[in-house]
Structure 1
Amino acid sequence: MSTNAVSGPHSKPSTGKSSKERSRYLHYNVALSLTFLVGMVSATFAIIPDCDEVFNYWEPTHYISYGSGLQTWEYSPLYAIRSWLYVGLHSLAVLPFSILAGLDKKHEFIIIRGILAAISSLAQTELYDSLCTVVGPDIGFFFLLILVPSAGMFQAVPAYLPSSFAMYFVMFGMATFLKNSRDLGKALVFFSVAGLWGWPFSIALIIPQLGLWVFEGIYQGGVYWVLRNSLQSIRGPLVVLATITLVDSIAYRKIVLVPLNIVLYNVFGGEGRGPDLYGTEPWWYYLANLSLNFNIMTGFALSSIFFQALGMIAWPTSTNRHQLVLQFPFYLWLSIFTMQPHKEERFMFPAYPALCLNAAISMFWVKHVISQIMRTLKSNISGETWGTVAVFCISSVAALISILRITAINTAYSAPMGIYNFDRDLTLDGNVCFGKEWYRFPSSYFLSESARPRFIKSSFSGLLPGTFSESDFGFRTGTWRIPENMNDLNQEDPSKYVPIDSCNYLVDSYYRDKKETSLEPNYILDIENWEQVSCKPFLDAAQTPFLDYFT
């Protein structure tokens, strides 16, 4: 099977030259440095907008590292839909820094995010390099131009979530498949890591490329060749599956297949169970959310198939098979998750690179059309230059909008992480309590080792996390002990609350125009019982309708 490609509408097909021989805009090391720098900025400043990231990943990691943390029902051995391998890998990754440097826990928090950003940086650069080599340097460069400054990637890159983890390895898988589409085994290893160690549903993103592999394999090698190579290619994924099964079974002390449990719960949970318990959204939710995170590039991504169709009709020699097939993962992913009633922003993370790739293909055809028009008009400036300038202007507008959104979010909503930056002479110990602000708790990494997060009753009536067992008998016995009063029905458990008089500190928010209730009084005004230690501004979205609508 050939990996020939075209570098532009009037270029002749590639003759299989190496990446060093191909014309490209940015050298590999320059692209890597750029993505790494932006990744480190996001790791340092990005907020945590999703409490699931804290309670299901940061807290268990804190428990593995320090022996304390909050536990959700998903980690109960009765349900076992979260992987201890996944959080254990992150705990091990930061261990050398902790031992050698004796870092503060908040520094470990940043280091873990930095490691995630570094892996993402390498994945982005590998995919950029593959696109330049196989599909064309224009599309590769446009992909990077759209991806790097986007508000969506700024949030997704350092997020400690399986969907972000899956995003990294989907990019590795796509890059590997592009560079050697005949050797399916290497790409399948990356995709299996994305799906089995990360998020099972991300495996759907390989379907279009797998379809191309099967089609071309049958055409050139026959059915037997496809079957033989399929059997040879599954050895890597089987090792990946065996590893997660072994580690999780040891942790839970029973045979556990977490990826299967995740699928069963989310797809076949049964009546009264499943993700819909935690809220549903209208069909257009992802269109609105993607428009916020990628602004005008979302429109170009959605339109790429139309640009492609027009391009193939007008200039049929300007398209190779990869340029066509690579557009389908985004459409497939968006279609699958739009049909699900329960929607969350993080569910789109694995498809963010696919969105940027679709938008890049649209930019490729925009550049070509403008170039052709300017050639027809016989402009003094070359048509190629006009096309490049047009794409650069469009991309600059998108980047500027994204930067403004990033700045707005981090300026308006960083208080839940910033309030812990107070005078270090103060010892933050005992019970640190959360009422109506329970879902903005940034994790135990922001508390001292003698402090414990606790919940007081608020108007929230769902199931809150409990605490991992801190038994001194055995290492981290909370991984296999069945916690009390857990359920998968999101039913409130009163035992998760502590009386307010047991709280040494209380984290709360105050909105001037919001009426207090018996369950949610304005604690900050109760100066007889509470003394203000740290306070940061936070946007009152309800009183800011314009920003509330657009953010």
Structure 2
Amino acid sequence: MPLQSQAPLAEAAVQKTHNNTPVSDTVAKEKNKVPLLPYHIVLSIIFSAGLISAAFATIPDCDEVFNYWEPTHYLSYGNGLQTWEYSPVYAIRSWLYVGVHSLITLPFSRVPSINKSHIFLILRTILAGTASVSQAELYDALSRSVSPTVGLLFILISVPSAGMFQAMPAYLPSSFAMYFVMFGMAEFLKTPASLPRALTYFSIAGFLGWPFCLALVAPQFLLWAFEDGKARGAIGLIQHVARSTISPLFVLATVVGVDSLAYRKLVFVPLNIVLYNVFGGSDRGPDLYGTEPWWYYFANLSLNFNLMAAVAFASIFLLALTLAILPTGATRQQVVLLLPFYLWLGVFSLQPHKEERFMFPAYPALCINAAMSMNWVNDFVLFLGCKLKFKPKTARAFGASVVTVMLATSALISTSRTIAVTTAYSAPKTIYRFDRSLSGNICFGKEWYRFPSSYFLPVGARPRFIKSAFAGLLPGTFAEAETPFRDGTWKVPENMNDLNREDYSKYIPIEECDYLVDSYFSGREEHIESLEPNYILDLENWDRVTCQKFLDAARTPFLSRALWLPDLVYRDRRVWGEYCILRNKQKRRT
């Protein structure tokens, strides 16, 4: 079925209603499917945004630190924290995934003038750069296959969004999967589609990244199979698919081979991930780490995409309205492009355990839905202008104004959200840059989940945990290695379990701490005096090395913590606490 853009056709209908004038140059450009902005300009814009996110985005998820930054630090420097997921007994994390990232940073880590925090930023920049290229590829494919207007709207929605700001530089399989799903979708949208390349990208996203992301490509793959089957016949389709699976099988063999070599036993990590998360049983599985209500993702996406989230949610209804009212209708490709977002949102909303990062692979799909919805909104305005006998120029100007106001409002809200988060919660990532003389045991109690990784500690420092009110399983440590061979990848660590059952061997006595990272919020009572005292106020035993302000979310009104607004617009009602590195006075005396 030929792909057509709705906006130029509606515009042409308005012109024809008035004076039978020919289709304008803009319509002709839409029909020729020429992107409205050159590829290199779009890539530059996206990458500029990616550089900012790499430098300033926070790390809101401790899973990113403990399961990816720490194993990568272990491969690069011979020490780091180890979670139960990396025990060969469970093997639900891929050493190939972290190994590739470790190799990428290897040349930089051998330069004496580059410290570990620089390596952290370099890797984040590479991740943001990969995300930028995949996003630009998807823009180009949308522009050429669906509509130049939809392609441009996709960029105008995705680039300023708070959600993409957080997802682009995140060192997570869900972000990695997002990159390669975009690459694969771009290949599928091209005419003719390159099935081998598309399947290769999808296999990298699923086997090396996150296996659940393959659900996002099912609708488009089925559409391709339907259309290719009509052209080639059933036998031709099967032969085509069979020939195209060589690269995916190679990707799978590489993942299995490298991970099995690292664990020293045959493992299939993607399958282990699915078995644990879906078939783990009632006494284990992701629900042990917290559950959320069904509306969690609706609220989270509304914070990260604001107006565009609402527009994306409404895309199926706008499609129905388009099919019922507009003479131009919609193409099969447009209908199929709407499905992945709804499929992903529906499946993950049904799961009790929910986390923001689980939505990362679907962010591009959300932006596509919103882009097509905004295109249809413009169609409706032009259609109404036609019915109300407006001049074509007036109808076009009004439609453009409605779309521009909505996009600008969304971008401003997203920028406000991004500033609010980065100014409120950056202390755990930035506080270490003020003192590079840290050494010995750097301890974490109630602030264990905000540790930004060993990349922020000097070479002679090691992260350690003291007992707090938290009663779950904390990471242990890899066996430190001075040689290039990291036998911690295959040695079974002691006292690990997949039940989130607390292990007291993970703690050290507070007397052994050289430094302590802690927070203090005035006006709060100590939860359990013996476990979480206010160390910052204990001037007899602890010196303040450096402190930064940190948002007291419990005492800050919702609007003030959700968005940043200048004082001229809204009085700053944020309440601040302190986030500090403390030095043990007793250790100094000895």
Question: Normalised by the size of structure 2, how large is the TM-score?
Answer: 0.89
Determine if the alignment matches structure 1 residue 534 to structure 2 residue 555.
no
C-alpha separation in 2, matches of 1:114 and 1:198 = 18
- Which residue identity does 1:38 align to in structure 2? A
**Cα offset, 1:342, TM superposition:** 0.4
Determine if the alignment matches structure 1 residue 441 to structure 2 residue 451.
yes
**Cα offset, 1:159, TM superposition:** 0.4
Conservation of the 8 A alpha-carbon contact between 2:35 and 2:140: no
Give secondary structure in 2 for the equivalent of 1:417.
Answer: helix
What is aligned with 1:397? 409
What is aligned with 2:315? 304
Unaligned runs of 5+ in 1: none
**Cα offset, 1:384, TM superposition:** 2.1
**Cα offset, 1:231, TM superposition:** 1.0
Match of 1:453 among 445, 449, 463: 463
Conservation of the 8 A alpha-carbon contact between 2:187 and 2:197: yes
What is aligned with 1:164? 175
Q: 1:236-247 counterparts in 2 under 5 A?
A: 236-247=247-258
C-alpha separation in 1, matches of 2:184 and 2:424 = 36
Conservation of the 8 A alpha-carbon contact between 1:150 and 1:402: yes
Match of 1:511 among 497, 500, 521: 521
Determine if the alignment matches structure 1 residue 432 to structure 2 residue 442.
yes
Match of 1:291 among 282, 286, 302: 302
**Cα offset, 1:259, TM superposition:** 0.3
What is aligned with 2:346? 335
Q: 1:96-495 counterparts in 2 under 5 A?
A: 96-100=107-111, 102-180=113-191, 182-375=193-386, 376-379=388-391, 381-424=393-436, 427-472=437-482, 475-495=485-505
Aligned pair in 2 of structure 1 residues 473, 365: CA closer, same or farther (>3 Å)? closer
**Cα offset, 1:320, TM superposition:** 2.4
Determine if the alignment matches structure 1 residue 37 to structure 2 residue 36.
no
- Which residue identity does 2:164 align to in structure 1? M
**Cα offset, 1:422, TM superposition:** 1.1
**Cα offset, 1:473, TM superposition:** 6.7
C-alpha separation in 2, matches of 1:534 and 1:251 = 40
C-alpha separation in 1, matches of 2:233 and 2:500 = 52
C-alpha separation in 2, matches of 1:204 and 1:262 = 15
Give secondary structure in 2 for the equivalent of 1:421.
Answer: helix
C-alpha separation in 1, matches of 2:263 and 2:327 = 56
C-alpha separation in 2, matches of 1:439 and 1:500 = 18
C-alpha separation in 2, matches of 1:324 and 1:101 = 54
Conservation of the 8 A alpha-carbon contact between 1:85 and 1:248: yes
Match of 1:502 among 506, 512, 528: 512
Aligned pair in 2 of structure 1 residues 151, 388: CA closer, same or farther (>3 Å)? same
Conservation of the 8 A alpha-carbon contact between 1:541 and 1:548: no
Aligned pair in 2 of structure 1 residues 380, 181: CA closer, same or farther (>3 Å)? closer
C-alpha separation in 2, matches of 1:238 and 1:146 = 35
Match of 2:556 among 537, 544, 548: 544
Conservation of the 8 A alpha-carbon contact between 2:7 and 2:378: no
- Which residue identity does 1:276 align to in structure 2? D
**Cα offset, 1:318, TM superposition:** 4.9
Conservation of the 8 A alpha-carbon contact between 1:46 and 1:154: yes
Aligned pair in 2 of structure 1 residues 550, 319: CA closer, same or farther (>3 Å)? same
Give secondary structure in 2 for the equivalent of 1:78.
Answer: coil
C-alpha separation in 2, matches of 1:262 and 1:352 = 22
Conservation of the 8 A alpha-carbon contact between 1:8 and 1:318: no
Conservation of the 8 A alpha-carbon contact between 2:290 and 2:353: yes
- Which residue identity does 1:489 align to in structure 2? L
**Cα offset, 1:221, TM superposition:** 2.2
CA RMSD of aligned residues (A): 1.9
C-alpha separation in 2, matches of 1:370 and 1:473 = 67
Conservation of the 8 A alpha-carbon contact between 1:7 and 1:138: no
Unaligned runs of 5+ in 2: 13-22, 564-590
**Count of aligned pairs between the two proteins:** 544
- Which residue identity does 2:260 align to in structure 1? S
C-alpha separation in 1, matches of 2:484 and 2:398 = 68
- Which residue identity does 1:378 align to in structure 2? F
Q: 1:12-91 counterparts in 2 under 5 A?
A: 22-91=33-102
**Cα offset, 1:472, TM superposition:** 4.6
C-alpha separation in 2, matches of 1:88 and 1:315 = 52
- Which residue identity does 1:482 align to in structure 2? V
**Cα offset, 1:474, TM superposition:** 6.8
Question: Normalised by the size of structure 1, how large is the TM-score?
Answer: 0.95
Give secondary structure in 1 for the equivalent of 2:463.
Answer: strand
C-alpha separation in 2, matches of 1:212 and 1:362 = 21
- Which residue identity does 2:196 align to in structure 1? G
**Cα offset, 1:447, TM superposition:** 0.1
C-alpha separation in 2, matches of 1:440 and 1:373 = 53
Superposed CA deviations along residues 353-397 of structure 1, whole A, max 9, x for unmatched, are 000100011100101111222343424843222212211110110
**Cα offset, 1:270, TM superposition:** 1.4
C-alpha separation in 2, matches of 1:400 and 1:196 = 37
C-alpha separation in 1, matches of 2:483 and 2:148 = 59
Give secondary structure in 1 for the equivalent of 2:233.
Answer: helix
Shifted more, 178-187 versus 65-74: the winner is 178-187
**Cα offset, 1:21, TM superposition:** 5.6
- Which residue identity does 1:166 align to in structure 2? A
What is aligned with 2:533? 521
- Which residue identity does 1:250 align to in structure 2? L
Aligned pair in 2 of structure 1 residues 441, 20: CA closer, same or farther (>3 Å)? farther
- Which residue identity does 2:224 align to in structure 1? W
Aligned pair in 2 of structure 1 residues 72, 20: CA closer, same or farther (>3 Å)? farther
Determine if the alignment matches structure 1 residue 6 to structure 2 residue 17.
no
Conservation of the 8 A alpha-carbon contact between 2:443 and 2:464: yes
Runs ≥4 residues deviating over 3 A? 2-9, 17-24, 180-183, 315-318, 379-382, 471-474, 547-551
Conservation of the 8 A alpha-carbon contact between 1:458 and 1:519: yes
Superposed CA deviations along residues 322-344 of structure 1, whole A, max 9, x for unmatched, are 21110000000001101101000
Give secondary structure in 2 for the equivalent of 1:282.
Answer: coil
Query: Percent of aligned pairs with the same residue?
Result: 60
C-alpha separation in 1, matches of 2:80 and 2:502 = 20
C-alpha separation in 2, matches of 1:380 and 1:173 = 39
**Cα offset, 1:4, TM superposition:** 4.1
Give secondary structure in 2 for the equivalent of 1:283.
Answer: coil
- Which residue identity does 2:135 align to in structure 1? Q
C-alpha separation in 1, matches of 2:359 and 2:502 = 29
**Cα offset, 1:303, TM superposition:** 0.8
C-alpha separation in 2, matches of 1:222 and 1:314 = 36
